Amino acid sequence: QMQLVESGGGVVQPGTSLRLSCAASGVGFSIYAMHWVRQAPGKGLEWVAVISYNGRNKNIADSVKGRFSVSRDNSKNTLYLEMKSLRRDDTAVYYCAKTGGDDWSNPPGGWGQGTLVTVSS
């Protein structure tokens, strides 16, 4: 069973950048597509990004397109979310989630515990 641990969250000022990591332990990270999902305080879940097992196919939600990017390093069993030009409304818990397949048509399945990003001056 693959475990996911997000890190990199914290308090940052508007306009700055941050990189989140999602470290996977256990077997199989390199064969699964992965998602990032966020949840603003008191709000619902919002899909952010998906990346295929080999990183060749990826997509980003319109709400963050041009500011956020997703990548992975299968040699390190790690998923990344690079966030630039952060805004106050990016404040949220960010979850990574594995899928049950190798491409972006697979939904989020197994979840990490999340990392909180607070954008505030």
Partner 1 sequence: QTVVTQEPSFSVSPGGTVTLTCGLTSGSVSTNNYATWYQQTPGQAPRTLIYTTNSRSSGVPDRFSGSILGNKAALTITGAQADDESDYYCVMSLGSGIWVFGGGTRLTVL
Binding site for partner 1 (CB under 8 A): 35, 37, 44-47, 50, 57-59, 61-62, 95, 100, 104-114
Q: How far is the CB of 113 from partner 1 (least distance, A)?
A: 5
Q: How far is the CB of 99 from partner 1 (least distance, A)?
A: 9
Q: How far is the CB of 11 from partner 1 (least distance, A)?
A: 19
Q: Smaller CB distance to partner 1: residue 15 or 100?
A: 100
Q: Smaller CB distance to partner 1: residue 35 or 72?
A: 35
Assess contact for 93 and 39: CB atoms under 8 A: yes
Q: Smaller CB distance to partner 1: residue 30 or 101?
A: 101
For residues 24 and 54, give the distance between their C-alpha atoms in angstroms, rounded to a whole number.
15
For residues 85 and 72, give the distance between their C-alpha atoms in angstroms, rounded to a whole number.
21
Assess contact for 2 and 25: CB atoms under 8 A: yes
The residues near 107 (Cβ < 8 Å, ≥ 6 apart) are: 35, 99
Q: How far is the CB of 5 from partner 1 (least distance, A)?
A: 12
For residues 37 and 45, give the distance between their C-alpha atoms in angstroms, rounded to a whole number.
7
Q: Smaller CB distance to partner 1: residue 17 or 63?
A: 63
